[in-house]
Structure 1
């Protein structure tokens, strides 16, 4: 079976009693892909070919018929959540991390980056407030590939 569209999100279903939920687990970077070949937790293989640049999100429903639902679940990622307390701290972070070309997301005055041991050591050294967590990202980190020389 090939899915061409997202037909809803599981968070919009008030009561899942009586439903059989089959889950497709994806990594964050898979959410950026338009064409995927996947396996579900029921060991069934499916294809996903979304149209119109549609991107998958955690909880998206790809199939819903006769109380059978196939839903996408995004795996959590190991990240550093950095919470600078001043604009000066943010400047220190930006300067320290800028040359590493790390992808970052910003949410509620927090900077979220993929876990990196060297970055964690730098944050500790500079006494910057952060925490390491496994979270489901709202959007995937986009990996930018380009040539870079110093």
Structure 2
């Protein structure tokens, strides 16, 4: 079966799953924006994704396939990340500048979203841990599903 579009998400339309089993099909963060890929369903059946150009990235809960009894949905595997919580604006600027020079993709959370303080979230990297430890910057290593997949963006100097 070839899927060319995803038009239902169980979190947007929870009534879609009423009376059916929901089975997650696990995806890594790195493949959520790939338009063309093969997906193995639990039980061995394969689906082909051939999404149109401009199709939004896959999201948690997107329906891949459904029948009268079962709904197969995207389940995103948590990513190993560092949640960095600088102590003040000076330390935040220092961290953002230093890690930005490495061209690391980063995301940010507001106070209360992940921690009590605002946080910078980057994928786990042992060299980043060494940098943070060396400069006494508070962080926590954890696994989470980021709201937006991490992507390296092209750049020029």
Q: TM-score, normalised by structure 1?
A: 0.86
Match of 1:69 among 65, 68, 71: 71
Aligned match of 2:89: 87
Deviations 1:16-49 (A, max 9, x none): 5742333321110111111111112222110112
User: How far did 1:93 drift?
Assistant: 0.4
Distance 1:105 1:22 in 2: 29
Aligned match of 2:113: none
Match of 2:144 among 130, 135, 141: 135
User: How far did 1:88 drift?
Assistant: 0.3
Aligned match of 2:114: none
Change (3 A) 1:15 1:35: closer
Report which stretch shifted further, 80-89 or 93-102: 93-102
Question: Where does structure 1 differ by over 6 angstroms across 4 or more consecutive aligned residues?
Answer: none
Match of 1:110 among 116, 119, 125: 119
Deviations 1:106-142 (A, max 9, x none): 1213211010111112112212121111111221111
As a proportion of its length, which structure holds more strand?
1
Aligned match of 1:37: 38
Q: TM-score, normalised by structure 2?
A: 0.82
Structure 2: 5+ residue runs without aligned partners? Answer: 111-117
Deviations 1:71-112 (A, max 9, x none): 111111100011123110112202322321111111213211
Aligned match of 1:10: 10
Change (3 A) 1:50 1:15: closer
Is this contact kept in 2: 1:83–1:130, CA < 8 A?
yes
